[in-house]
């Protein structure tokens, strides 16, 4: 069997149940030549003294050379394990996620499937959408798909393995049906009483930002009678929540015309008065400045930008961008107004994000109150051993 032996002392992170093994930790790899070149082969991981540490999926081309399947010496990596874990992941969501039919069923490492994302839209008649981001889950694709169908009763599975992280694993970018029907152009979901159209085949991620569900609900609860500005609105997730919550007006900005078209469609799907909603195809950085120059102000502002820092070396530049939009956001906010501000950069911790926002508030001369610290929904859990899983963080601020 393929065996990875670590250098002395390099077993520490595995003993803390951290699931990634980097090339610098590896002393030697032994096995048949065909195993040593096989992406996704299961490897036994041992310490320098020969102690069992884990079974892991080997990825010869990746900087994450192996990802742990199991720390239990008695747990073989087989079809039964795949089934068991799929079942567990789904049971947890069925128990903990309410008021939606857009659910993340599997969230990578947190569910014992390193590099796998599975979202479920629109129930049994809808679609399961999978993203295989690592060689390990790629190698077990067929049994994973089989288990998903068996556990959900949904026969339609679509693959959106078009995320660039695949390239770092040496895997090609692919999309297409894995089972059942191709998704239609528009899949309708209902989240907290709001209907949204999702474009599974070409939308961002798997079509929808499922992770912001609870935060959209929070905006819904505080939107009544307010003038709302939603920056980086995509298909209007927060905008529709604000309209549902009784916002007086909602201005939504995004640089993607396709996303805005779905946003408008969402207004129609919910029967809201289109006069309450404006959709601006524009750059947020420029538009925020223009609004400030025009002396405009709002009662509730959402800032949910794309990932500004894709890796640790981009943190400094990203911090400046976050500070910039938050500074102007606070300036555009009326007294008594609310700012919901987010970062989905894994390289920026919740702590650092709060410091950046504090810097923005300081420059804006606002003693902003932190009403809440915000996170992704419960279907995107973070585990104690894998804090890297926390990518989305946010703050709900009040301008006194």
- Tell me the CA distances in angstroms from 163 to 195, 205, 264, one per residue in order: 27, 8, 27
Q: Is 120 in the site for ligand SAH (CB under 6 A)?
A: no
Closer Cβ to ligand SAH, 246 or 306, answer by number:
306
Per-residue mark of binding to ligand SAH, 139-158 (x: CB under 6 A): --------------------
Among residues 86, 108, 103, 82, which one has the least CA distance to residue 19? 108
Separation of alpha carbons 65 and 169, rounded Å: 9
Q: Is 304 in the site for ligand SAH (CB under 6 A)?
A: yes
Binds ligand SAH (CB under 6 A): choice among 238, 279, 322, 340: 238
Catalytic residue among 154, 231, 233, 344: 344
Specify the residue for token string 């540490």.
53
Least distance to ligand SAH, CB of residue 308, Å: 9
CA 71 to chain CA mean position, Å: 26
Q: Do residues 162 and 174 lie in contact, with contact meaning Cβ atoms separated by under 8 Å? A: yes
CB within 8 A of 178, min separation 6: which ones? Answer: 130, 141, 145, 157, 158, 159
344 as an active site residue: the answer is yes
Separation of alpha carbons 332 and 315, rounded Å: 26
Least distance to ligand SAH, CB of residue 175, Å: 19
Q: Which stretch binds ligand SAH (CB under 6 A): 45-53, 220-228, 266-274, 278-286?
A: 278-286
Binds ligand SAH (CB under 6 A): choice among 184, 193, 274, 306: 306
Least distance to ligand SAH, CB of residue 212, Å: 4
Closer Cβ to ligand SAH, 171 or 259, answer by number:
259
- Secondary structure (H, E, C), 106-170: EEHHHHCCCCEEEEEECHHHCEEEEEECCHHHHHCHHHHHHHHHHHHCCCCEEEEECCCHHHHCC
Binds ligand SAH (CB under 6 A): choice among 111, 138, 199, 254: 254
Q: Which stretch binds ligand SAH (CB under 6 A): 183-191, 250-258, 315-323, 379-387?
A: 250-258
Binds ligand SAH (CB under 6 A): choice among 70, 190, 256, 314: 256
Among residues 197, 165, 188, 181, which one has the least CA distance to residue 63? 165
Q: Is 209 in the site for ligand SAH (CB under 6 A)?
A: yes
Binds ligand SAH (CB under 6 A): choice among 66, 259, 303, 333: 259
Closer Cβ to ligand SAH, 62 or 212, answer by number:
212
Q: Is 284 in the site for ligand SAH (CB under 6 A)?
A: yes
DSSP state of 386: B
Among residues 251, 225, 257, 248, which one has the least CA distance to residue 238? 251
Phi and psi, residue 217, nearest 5°: -65, -40
Least distance to ligand SAH, CB of residue 100, Å: 13
CA 387 to chain CA mean position, Å: 14
Binds ligand SAH (CB under 6 A): choice among 70, 190, 255, 349: 255
Task: Provide the 3-class DSSP secondary structure of residue 24.
Answer: helix
Q: Is 237 in the site for ligand SAH (CB under 6 A)?
A: yes
Q: Which stretch binds ligand SAH (CB under 6 A): 105-113, 174-182, 252-260, 313-321?
A: 252-260
Q: Do residues 30 and 73 lie in contact, with contact meaning Cβ atoms separated by under 8 Å? A: no
**Catalytic residue IDs:** 344
Query: Which residues sit at the interface with ligand SAH, rule CB under 6 A?
Result: 209, 212, 232-235, 237-238, 253-256, 259, 283-285, 304-306
């Amino acid at each position: 069997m393929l065996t990875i032996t670590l250098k002395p002392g390099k077993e520490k992170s595995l003993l803390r149940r951290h699931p990634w093994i980097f090339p610098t930790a590896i002393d030697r790899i032994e096995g048949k030549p065909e195993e040593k070149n096989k992406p996704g082969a299961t490897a036994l991981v041992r310490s320098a003294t020969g102690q069992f540490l884990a079974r892991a999926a080997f990825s010869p081309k990746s900087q994450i050379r192996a990802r742990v399947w199991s720390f239990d010496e008695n747990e073989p990596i087989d079809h039964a394990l795949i089934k068991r874990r799929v079942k567990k992941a789904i049971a947890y969501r069925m128990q903990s996620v309410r008021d939606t039919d857009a659910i993340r069923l599997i969230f990578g490492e947190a569910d014992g499937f390193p590099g796998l994302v599975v979202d479920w839209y629109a129930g049994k008649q809808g679609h399961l959408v999978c993203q295989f981001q690592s060689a390990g889950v790629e190698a077990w694709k067929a049994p994973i798909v089989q288990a998903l169908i068996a556990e959900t009763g949904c026969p339609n599975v679509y693959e959106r393995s078009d995320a660039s992280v695949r390239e770092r694993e040496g895997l090609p970018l692919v999309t297409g049906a894995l089972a059942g029907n191709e998704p239609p152009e528009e899949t309708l979901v209902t989240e907290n009483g709001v209907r949204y159209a999702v474009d599974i085949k070409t939308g961002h991620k798997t079509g929808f930002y499922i992770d912001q569900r609870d935060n959209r609900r929070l905006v819904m609860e505080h939107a009544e009678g307010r003038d709302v500005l939603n920056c980086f609105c995509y298909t209007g997730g927060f905008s529709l929540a604000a309209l549902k919550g009784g916002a007086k007006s909602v201005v939504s900005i995004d640089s993607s015309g396709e996303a805005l078209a779905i946003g408008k469609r969402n207004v129609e799907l919910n029967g809201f008065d289109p006069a309450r909603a404006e959709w601006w195809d524009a750059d947020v950085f420029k538009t925020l400045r223009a609004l400030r120059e025009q002396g405009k102000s709002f009662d509730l502002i959402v800032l949910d930008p794309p990932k500004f820092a894709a890796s640790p070396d981009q943190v400094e530049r990203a911090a400046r961008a976050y500070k910039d939009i938050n500074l102007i956001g606070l300036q555009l906010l009326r007294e008594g107004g609310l700012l919901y501000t987010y970062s989905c950069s894994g390289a920026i911790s919740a702590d650092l994000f709060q410091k950046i926002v504090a810097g923005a508030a300081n420059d804006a001369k606002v003693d902003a109150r932190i009403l809440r610290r915000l996170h992704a929904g419960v279907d995107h859990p973070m585990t104690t051993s894998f804090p890297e899983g926390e990518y989305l963080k946010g703050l709900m601020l009040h301008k006194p």
